[in-house]
Every structure is written in C-alpha cells, then in structure tokens.
Structure 1
Amino acid sequence: MRETLLLGSNCSLLFFTVEKILQTWRLSACNNFKLIYFLLFNFNFNINLLLHQRLNVRHLNFNSFKEFNINKRGLTENQEIFNQWLVGFTDGDGTFNVSYSNNKWNLAFQIGQNSYNLRVLHFIKKQLKVGSIFVEKDGNMAVFRIRDRKVLENIIFPIFDKYTLLTTKQFNYIKFKNCHTILSNNDLTKEDKDKLLFNILKTKPSTDYISSAWSIVDNNVFNFETASKVMSKSWLIGFTEAEGSFYLVNKTTNRIVHGFEITQKLDKIVLIAIKHILGFNNKIQIKKTGYFSISTTNSRAIENIIKYYNNTMKGMKSVEYRIWARSYVKHKGDFFNLNEIRKKIRLFRLKRFTLSCMNPSEYFINKKIK
C-alpha cells in the first residue's frame, strides 16, 4: 500500500510538493503530466490536511469507511468492501446479458468502460481472479466479461445475493439468475428451456420499479439515517466511479467554479439517497433528455464531497478527483489557473489504452502526451 503523508515532520514536504505541482502548470504539457501523474500515483496525499489548512469549516459526520488496503499482490485485504464497491459500480456501468444466437443461449456478466479507464477493469479482474477483458477494434471501449456459468454461480451470484443492487438492474439480475437456473436444469428439454427463456426475456420492469433493497425503509428516503440504512459508502464510491462527474464550469465569463453531478435515467430514489448522504440542499432535477440529475456547485457541498471521497476510488476517476480537489484548495476563485487545469484534464481524458498497457499511470510518466 502506498504511504500516506501525515502531519508533523512530513507536513512541510506535503505542502512543498503540492506547490511544485501547481508551479509546473506553466511548463510543457508533457512535463506537466509526467510530474503530476508521478506524484498522484506514488504519493497518496490526504486531501483533508490541505482542506483544513485552508478552510476552518465543520463537515458532516459521514459514516465510517475503511479504504481498500491493497497487498503486494495487488489484491484487496477486505473482500466485503470490494464486493459492495463492485455492486455499486455494476449499478452504474454493469449489465447482465442473456442472448440467443446460432440456436444457443449465452449468459454474460459485463462491465463496460471507455478504454481511458482500462485500469479499473484490470482492478476488478484481479480482485475476482476470473473473467476476461476485451478492447474493441476502434480502441474506444473495453469490456470485462464473465460467461462461464459455473463461475457465475460460484463467484458472481454470492456477491449480488448478499448485496442487493439498488437500481433497476436488480430486476435484470433476477431475470439473469432465473435464466441461469433454467439452463442448468437437466430435467428440461431444449424446447422447454427455449420457451421459458423467451418468456423471461419479454418481461420488463415497470416505470416506477424500485429495487427490493429499499423495502427496509418502506421505499421512503427522507434523511441521512434512512439513506445510509440502504446505501453503504462502499456502494456509493463504486457508483460514483461509474456515474459521477467532478468538473470545472463557468459560472460567468470570468469565473470558474467546482461542480459535482450524478445522473440516472431511472431510480430517482437512488439520487435522493445520495443527496442526503452527501448533504446537498438541491432538489433532484429532470433534464431535457428525461434523465434525473443531482448536482451542486455550492462551496460547502463541494467541501463535503472532497472529504467524503478522499483516499477511496480506484479507477481514473480517482485521478480526476485528486486534481479537482487540489485545485479547489489551492486555486478556488483563480480563473486563469482553473481554466488551464480544465484544459489539461480534457486533454488527458482523450487518451486511450490497449491491453498491452497494463498500468496506465506508468504510461503518463514514461510517454509523451501529444
């Protein structure tokens, strides 16, 4: 596990190093990324130390969370935290696919990501110790996939049976598992299986479907306590890695502010719970596309978010978060520097990785970014 710099003898080193990061924004793009990514991936800075040096504010008393502890083999030492994180990530970007082709049924648990975030798929594969990763021919998308029915039964089902999906994907999971049961039943003829499976595929969730996980609060979330009874911090971190956005946005022509947003096509209750857990005062919005959205640029909410997600995420979202959080601490209100940082984040999101690039962070250190 990477060492965390602490207050005391290392405090001056922490602030000196961060200052050096910010000074490098005026260097070439190549040198900027090399230094920043080297520091981000080799030192696990504690954002709270920076935040409280700058801000004397009272934060929400968030529910406890023990971050992933990764051993020398790259495996988490707390499997239950990973499992809850995986369910949250799946609620965001996972699918349970049932397909029929060439007179044969296929089941697949899949998680798709832009190849820019290929590292998170390698992280998932390493923790589960099963599955395959594929990068599409155009290089834009990558998929982690498990098709083996025995692996699904022995590895995947126990996770999702213990930690219920909080979105409409719970409906899809139940369909998926029922299809698995039918295909595994040797007492059924192929004709019987086909008929049952085609009937299952026709079923659709209602427009107001709510996952059974919310039944313990009677499908009613109205404060932090009711939200946290259903939604664990590990789940929310995984879901945020899939669906969350840490961004910089123009408030006026010469003012840039920090923002955070999560959108959902369905499952408004999920966003209501997130709103209460993160301490937002905003109402859930409905966008022109019909999607639900929870977002904020409020300073107090942003400070709560910075604290909540400190030292948690595993994919490239963790890199974006750390740059975003540091820029708030050091450059809030500084239009020029925030605009430069935003440009560089947009540039870095355009990078794509292949399966031969096993550690994207090393790519940024050793290769030039054009």
Structure 2
Amino acid sequence: MNLGLSKVIRSNFIQINPVNKMIINTKNILDPKWIAGFTSGEGNFDINIHKSKNKIGFQVQLRFRIYQNERDIQLIKLLIKYFGAGKIEKQLEKQMVNLTIVKFSDIINIIIPFFEKNYLHGVKQLDFLDWCKVANLMKSKIHHTPEGLELIYSIKSGINRSRK
C-alpha cells in the first residue's frame, strides 16, 4: 500500500486518477502503545548475517526498522526523537524512508525494553521474541562460535516472511 498502485494496475485503469494522500504533520507521539501498534503493522525485526574478517568469518547484526513513504519522513523523525536512537535511510528508487536502529546498545537498552513493556500484536510479537533470543545469544558472545552462528541462522530462517 505504501508504494501505491503497481505499473500493471495503473496501465489497466488509466481512466482512474488516484487521490493524493494527505500529509499529516504530527508534532509529537503521546502514546507508546500507538508505536507498538504501528510497529505491528509497519515494523521489522531483522537479523543480518554477513561475511566478516573475524575469526568465524561472519558478523551478526540486529536491525529494527520501520518503513514509510517519503512523504511521512516527519513521522520517522519523531520516532527517532522519541527513542533517542536511530537514523533515517532513504530508498530513492522506491520513494521510501525508514527508521533504522542497529547499534547493539540501543537495541538492548531501548528497543527491547520498550517492546517488552508495550506488547506487539500478531505474528510481529513472535518475530520480536525470536529476535530477542538472538540478542541474548549475542550478549553471551555465543554468536562468535560456529554452533552459535548455526543457531542464529536457524532462528533467522523462521522469522518475518519465513515464519510458517
């Protein structure tokens, strides 16, 4: 929905003129439960594993992200201000912006406690709980072992779009 109608649909309905979405200029976020609900629909708890020059050859990184159309950049700025963490990443080709938090101390000290207190809904809660398992493995430094990395791959393979 945030990306608008696909080219195929637009080409089949050329007589239809889409209505522009109103820009909402929210000044602040008053309710943390709103953030939890919004994250349930728009957020992502991601586990990124990439090659590294460390001793096991891979690095694990947790990412918390919320994607929005670029017209809603003010909301992303408010979320960064609210959490006191994160940065804006732009995807120009898709007209998207996203809040991205990757700093491990911010994830451990801000994001995890926030969502432990402000419950997520639906499958997103299950993704969050699995993401927290990986955070705990990382806190224990188990991700620096082949067995720990294998366990993290296993958890990663069952979250987000891969959850069955």
TM-score for both structures, normalised by structure 1: 0.34
1:86 pairs with 35, 48, 58, which one? Answer: 35
2:13 maps to which residue? none
Matched, 1:135 2:90: yes
* Alpha-carbon contact 2:43-2:65 (below 8 Å) kept: yes
| Structure 1 residues 172 and 122: CA distance shift in structure 2, 3 A | same
Give me the whole-angstrom Cα distance separating, in 2, the residues matched to 1:187 and 1:153: 16
Q: Secondary structure at the match of 1:138?
A: helix
Tell me, which stretches of 5 or more residues in structure 1 are unaligned?
A: 1-36, 42-69, 207-370
CA RMSD of aligned residues (A): 2.5
Give the drift of 1:139.
Answer: 6.0
Give me the whole-angstrom Cα distance separating, in 2, the residues matched to 1:111 and 1:97: 11
| Structure 1 residues 110 and 117: CA distance shift in structure 2, 3 A | same
Greater than 4 Å deviation, 4+ residue runs: none
| Structure 1 residues 192 and 91: CA distance shift in structure 2, 3 A | same
| Structure 1 residues 119 and 189: CA distance shift in structure 2, 3 A | closer
Q: Point out the structure with max Rg over C-alpha.
A: 1
Percent identity of equivalent pairs: 21
2:124 pairs with 169, 177, 198, which one? Answer: 169
Look up the equivalent residue of 1:190 and give its one-letter code: T
Where do 1:212-227 residues align within 5 Å?
Answer: none
1:98 maps to which residue? 47
1:183 pairs with 124, 132, 138, which one? Answer: 138
1:312 maps to which residue? none
Give me the whole-angstrom Cα distance separating, in 2, the residues matched to 1:189 and 1:144: 28
Give me the whole-angstrom Cα distance separating, in 2, the residues matched to 1:173 and 1:100: 17
| Structure 1 residues 198 and 116: CA distance shift in structure 2, 3 A | same
Give the drift of 1:75.
Answer: 5.4
TM-score for both structures, normalised by structure 2: 0.72
| Structure 1 residues 188 and 107: CA distance shift in structure 2, 3 A | closer
* Alpha-carbon contact 2:143-2:149 (below 8 Å) kept: no
| Structure 1 residues 188 and 100: CA distance shift in structure 2, 3 A | closer
Cα distance per residue 1:291-342 (max 9 Å; x no partner): xxxxxxxxxxxxxxxxxxxxxxxxxxxxxxxxxxxxxxxxxxxxxxxxxxxx
